[in-house]
Amino acid sequence: MAPAASRTNSLAFAEEFCVVPLSLDCRTNPFRVHTNRIAKFSFLLHAILAVSSQHLAKKNHNSSLNIEMHRHSSTALKLFSKALIYSDIVSLLETILVIVNLETSQTASSTWSIHLNGAQGLLERDSAVESHVGNSRMVAQIAIVVWWDVTIAFISRREPSFPMSYLDMLATQDTGESWSFIVLNGCPIEFVIAMTRLAKLAAIYTKTTRMDWTIFNTFPVEVIIDEVKDYVNQEKVDIDHPGNLDEDPNARRNRFHCIEAWRHAILLYAYRVFAPNQEEAKLRLISHLARVVLDSVRCIPREDTLRSSYCYPYF
């Protein structure tokens, strides 16, 4: 690729394509990389060019750019594997985010776990949780990696790889001032924690179903269900309190429906996973929850970025 085209595609990523994976753009967008940094690291450059080529191929209906995408992706992975020895954690973590973002958009069966384990190794090698806790952009990047780990564990019904200490740290930083899970993926931190706990319980439940004379204790699941039900959706628009209308009420209403979709999807997961042999009343409840999820999805305009990012672990 010519240098001019490379700069153009890098700029397109920094200004446009880095927003695509998020529910909303934010000041500490974990995917945005300054063009000056992109030029410094060849592995990061090729990863970004791969993502830009993919988006431009769809945008311009240019299939030849898909070839460019695969070429840049392959080059990025080769250079990245060599750079693990000597490069700094910032550029390596930026590259992992871009690579996983690319792979998640292509296939549901990928090497995500390898990349996430690599990210965890990097973070622990550099004691990132302790040393970068004041760096809001680094914390947002850690949040994305942990989010991917949680959703993969949730889908596959296994324990997340990242220890709970990461989520505990993120819970203290999820203030909404520079980033939040709502902004990153449309899901409140309280629901992310609920998903983590349910994934762990699902892993235990799966094991107990294969064991004789073992009964799974459903009480922890029932506690989580009650917590999810009782969560107060702060995005509700109340016309009786004008202070709530300082922001565009339509934007708030969209976030309200997004949160409700997550709420009912998590409940759907809990009722379905932990009681596979359903009586008719439970089946009606599951059908109702699925309907509520889809109704919430339909309430958000197609052009709103929220609609493209939530509930993907359930479908």
pLDDT of residue 282: 85
212: left (phi over 0), alpha (psi -120 to 50) or beta: beta
pLDDT of residue 243: 56
Residue 105 included in any domain: yes
Residue 153 included in any domain: no
pLDDT of residue 170: 92
Residue 222 included in any domain: no
Nearest to 186 by CA among 267, 247, 236, 256: 256
Q: Residue 212: phi, psi to the nearest 5?
A: -80, 145
Residue 122 included in any domain: no
Distance CA 206, CA 198 (A): 12
As for how many domains the chain has, the answer is 1
Residue 2 included in any domain: yes
Residue 71 included in any domain: yes
- Could you tell me how far CA 34 lies from the centroid of its own chain? 22
pLDDT of residue 57: 87
CB 56 within 8 A of CB 65: yes
pLDDT of residue 132: 67
Position 302 confidence tier, pLDDT thresholds 50, 70, 90: confident
Residue 31 included in any domain: yes
Distance CA 111, CA 89 (A): 20
Nearest to 77 by CA among 103, 43, 121, 100: 43
Q: Which two tokens stand for residue 295?
A: 């109704």
Nearest to 40 by CA among 92, 99, 75, 116: 92
Give tens-digit pLDDT for 228-256: 999 999 888 776 665 556 678 888 898 99
pLDDT of residue 204: 96
Position 44 confidence tier, pLDDT thresholds 50, 70, 90: very high
Distance CA 182, CA 66 (A): 32
Give tens-digit pLDDT for 50-73: 999 988 888 888 888 889 899 999
Query: What range does the domain containing 99 cover?
Result: 1-109
Residue 311 included in any domain: no
Model confidence at 270: pLDDT above 90: yes
| pTM exceeds cut of 0.85 | yes
CB 313 within 8 A of CB 155: yes
pLDDT of residue 5: 59
Nearest to 56 by CA among 13, 21, 15, 96: 13
